[in-house]
Amino acid sequence: MTQQADQVCTRCVMDTSAPDIEFDAQGVCHYCKTHEEKIALAPVSKPDARARLEETVAKIKADRRGDYDSIVGLSGGVDSSYVALQAVKLGLKPLAVHFDNGWNSELAVKNIEQMVKRLGLDLQTFVIDWEEFRDIQRSFFKAQVIDIEMVTDHAIFAAMYRIAREQGIRYILSGTNAQTESIMPPAWQHFKFDLRNLKAIHKRFGTMPIKRFPTLSVWGMAWNHYVNGAQSVSLLNYLPYRKDEAIRTLQTELAWQYYGGKHYESVFTKFYQAHILPAKFGVDKRRIHLSDLIMNGEITREQALAELDKPPYDPLQLEQDREYVCKKLGFGAAEFATYIAAPPVSHFAYPSYARLAQKLVAIHKRRRYQ
């Protein structure tokens, strides 16, 4: 496989902005092949897919120890909302948990309220200590690293496992799935459970100690799984899943409302993906989302290219959101402009155990789907 400057895959819309991309003789990138490989490994692709789903559901029900047999995290987005709906339809009794990091959009809150009411779910909201959370977010800005969302993602996983332990629940139902989330260049994110990296960045750039922020190391994750018996179940990997069909189902059955983009239920995530990533890091994350949808047969490559021709942000909305985000994080306009202009720094410029931990997680995942 080869790579040429400014080359775009002939099958999806991944391009050379992904530094590790490779193309075959037909111009098809290796991410297309990665998507196919992950789909082939998913339970939904196996001849006994339905039996595997029924077996998994039966086990979750049998291991119930109290009022709930599982936890489902609700962000108000498509994937988590659809997981909650399918869990109820499958006869499961999940506890709905929402992680509130101070960046919820009004639409996300309304979606959660509608789902909880219509599905008859109990809701527990984990409210983060805002001052501490903001200090960690600010430290990631000052570190100039790409994965600022690692702060939220790490805390979500840690909070879910903490609540599961407190409630005696063994299963966490996840919205991650191979159909629409298989493509991701390693350089565009960092390992979410790299607690060493998170603490090192905060120690260098933060201004207060971490006391209430939920944390979970890869070793703690292993303890939860192998000792406490807790595990994450990617329910959508057991079901045929199309994003467009999921949206229509949620709108029809739960009066759910779409918010305009992947993970845009969060004000910060929208600003990060649609402005910070392209402006500072040269990353248009729409490419991975659209490429996954192409590979899943939901849109054509031509439709994806047409979408990429549009600006990622409405100019007026961008100005409003930039002012809001900067004010909330305590950045002045000039300070934020300096941040955008500064060169990116690798996560590996700070202490990290990501490479070793990722190898261990990969081994675990391969064993899990065999």
- Supply angle C-alpha 335, 340, 312, rounded to 5: 125
Please name the fold of domain 30-368: Rossmann fold (3.40.50)
Rg from Cα positions in the chain: 20
Q: Quote the pTM value.
A: 0.92
Q: Domain residues of the chain, as ranges?
A: 30-368
What is the secondary structure of 220-263 as a DSSP string?
Answer: HHHHHHHTS--EEEEGGGGS---HHHHHHHHHHHH-----SSTT
pLDDT at 370: 45
- All residues at 6 or more sequence positions from 15 whose CB lies less than 8 Å from its CB, including other chains: 6, 7, 8, 9, 21, 287
Residues paired with residue 98 on neighbouring β-strands, in sequence order = 125
Helix (H) or strand (E) segment spanning residue 97: strand 94-100
Instruction: Return averaged pLDDT per consecutive 10 residues of the chain, 370 residues in all.
Output: 74 97 97 97 96 97 96 94 97 97 90 94 97 98 98 96 94 95 96 96 98 91 81 95 96 89 78 97 97 97 97 94 98 98 98 82 55
